[in-house]
């Protein structure tokens, strides 16, 4: 099968949570497509075993242009600083709100502090990342594109995942609501909804997911139902979806969640 190529020359792309996992893959793919990439993450170093070169340095080694900005996405002022800093490169053309965290636990045992932290990063980070980027695009009179990271958990509940599912459900509605309000300004807002992706972010279940998918299903948790493509996904299975939604090929797409899940939601 052929491979699609994209041209993001002279464009600036912010990727929150770009130091590891899906964000790292997305940042590298945008860098390879010619964009100047800003990795906005709390930590500079990658997390995966065997990786020790920061994302922006990897992009530079691959011939691209990138930088790292320490960012706490639950702090709106941090997000504003990232977007304002992008003015040095013409301003944000594409905002990828990807940063997130995952906690699991029985519904009856989740405490308020844990719940609040998860929502601060996942839901609040996407809400204000979208808001700050959109306001800046309007101020510059230069409509761009926003792509959020949702999840299969945006639609389907899993056992012991209520607090996480609630954040991803929020991202679904933030994406759709923002798309509705920003359409008149020419700003498109969509989301990629990954399925079972084996990353360091999901290390608590990725090995189980791989085994279950390879065997056609299994496990007591509904999260481990069979994956039609018979494997868990990897970040490289997702990055092209972000570029597609950010590209001119998706000019008539807004307010949508693109599920990249190996067919999991089809069951």
> Where exactly are the structural domains of the chain?
12-201+234-255
What's the average model confidence in pLDDT over 150-171? 94
Cα atoms in the 13 Å half-sphere on the side-chain side of 138: 14
Q: Would you say the C-alpha torsion 67, 137, 22, 5 has a positive or negative sign? A: negative
- In this structure, what is the dihedral angle of CA atoms 176, 181, 186, 192, given to the nearest 10 degrees? -10
Contact 108, 163 (CB under 8 A): no
Q: 164 catalytic, yes or no?
A: yes
Query: What pLDDT is stored for residue 246 in this prediction?
Result: 98
Query: What pLDDT is stored for residue 1 in this prediction?
Result: 76
What's the average model confidence in pLDDT over 108-117? 96
Q: Which CATH number fits domain 12-201+234-255: 3.40.50.300, 2.40.30.170, 3.30.420.40, 3.40.50.720?
A: 3.40.50.720
What's the average model confidence in pLDDT over 146-174? 95
More confident residue, 214 or 22: 22
Query: What pLDDT is stored for residue 210 in this prediction?
Result: 54
What's the average model confidence in pLDDT over 46-71? 95
What's the average model confidence in pLDDT over 34-46? 97
pLDDT band at 215 (very low <50, low <70, confident <90, very high): low
Q: What's the CA gap between 92 and 215, in Å, rounded?
A: 44
| Contact residues for 136 (Cβ-Cβ < 8 A; gap 6+) | 83, 84, 91, 92
Q: What's the CA gap between 98 and 101, in Å, rounded?
A: 10
Mean of the per-residue pLDDT values of the chain = 91
What's the average model confidence in pLDDT over 108-136? 97
What's the average model confidence in pLDDT over 182-207? 80
Q: What is the value of pTM for the model shown? A: 0.92
Q: What's the CA gap between 157 and 144, in Å, rounded?
A: 32
Query: What pLDDT is stored for residue 17 in this prediction?
Result: 98
Query: What pLDDT is stored for residue 212 in this prediction?
Result: 52
pLDDT in tens, 226-263: 889 988 899 999 999 999 999 999 999 999 999 999 99
Q: What's the CA gap between 146 and 168, in Å, rounded?
A: 16
Report whether pLDDT(218) > 60: no
Query: What pLDDT is stored for residue 245 in this prediction?
Result: 98
Q: Which helix (H) or strand (E) holds 93?
A: none
Query: What pLDDT is stored for residue 224 in this prediction?
Result: 58
pLDDT band at 204 (very low <50, low <70, confident <90, very high): very low
- In this structure, what is the dihedral angle of CA atoms 134, 136, 139, 145, given to the nearest 10 degrees? -50
Q: Which helix (H) or strand (E) holds 242?
A: helix 239-246
DSSP state of 90: T
Q: What's the CA gap between 267 and 33, in Å, rounded?
A: 35
pLDDT band at 49 (very low <50, low <70, confident <90, very high): confident
Among 164, 242, 252, 259, the one annotated catalytic: 164
Query: What pLDDT is stored for residue 171 in this prediction?
Result: 98
Q: What's the CA gap between 64 and 48, in Å, rounded?
A: 22
What's the average model confidence in pLDDT over 119-127? 98
- Among 175, 162, 173, residue whose Cα is nearest residue 223: 162
Query: What pLDDT is stored for residue 2 in this prediction?
Result: 82
What's the average model confidence in pLDDT over 132-138? 98
Report whether pLDDT(18) > 60: yes
Q: What's the CA gap between 20 and 78, in Å, rounded?
A: 19
């Amino acid at each position: 099968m052929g491979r699609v190529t994209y041209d993001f020359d002279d464009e600036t792309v912010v990727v929150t949570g770009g130091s590891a996992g899906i964000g790292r893959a997305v940042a590298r793919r945008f860098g390879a497509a010619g964009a100047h990439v800003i990795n906005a993450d709390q930590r500079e170093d990658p997390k995966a075993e065997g990786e020790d070169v920061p994302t922006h340095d990897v992009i530079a080694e691959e011939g691209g242009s990138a930088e790292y900005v320490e960012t706490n996405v639950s702090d709106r002022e941090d997000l504003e600083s990232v977007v304002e800093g992008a003015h040095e490169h013409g301003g944000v053309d594409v905002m990828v709100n990807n940063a997130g965290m995952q906690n699991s636990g029985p519904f009856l045992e989740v405490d308020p502090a844990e719940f609040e932290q998860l929502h601060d990063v996942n839901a609040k980070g996407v809400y204000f990342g979208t808001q700050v980027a959109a306001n800046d695009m309007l101020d510059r009179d230069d409509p761009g594109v926003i792509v959020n990271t949702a999840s299969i958990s945006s639609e389907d509940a899993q056992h012991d995942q209520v607090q996480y599912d609630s954040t991803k459900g929020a991202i679904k509605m933030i994406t759709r609501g923002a798309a509705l309000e920003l359409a008149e300004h020419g700003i498109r807002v969509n989301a990629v909804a990954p399925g079972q992706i084996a990353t360091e972010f999901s290390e608590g279940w990725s090995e189980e997911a791989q085994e279950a998918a390879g065997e056609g299903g299994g496990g007591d948790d509904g999260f481990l139902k069979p994956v039609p493509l018979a494997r868990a996904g990897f970040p490289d299975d997702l990055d092209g979806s972000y570029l597609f939604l950010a590209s001119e090929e998706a000019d008539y797409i807004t307010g949508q969640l693109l599920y990249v899940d190996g067919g999991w939601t089809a069951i």
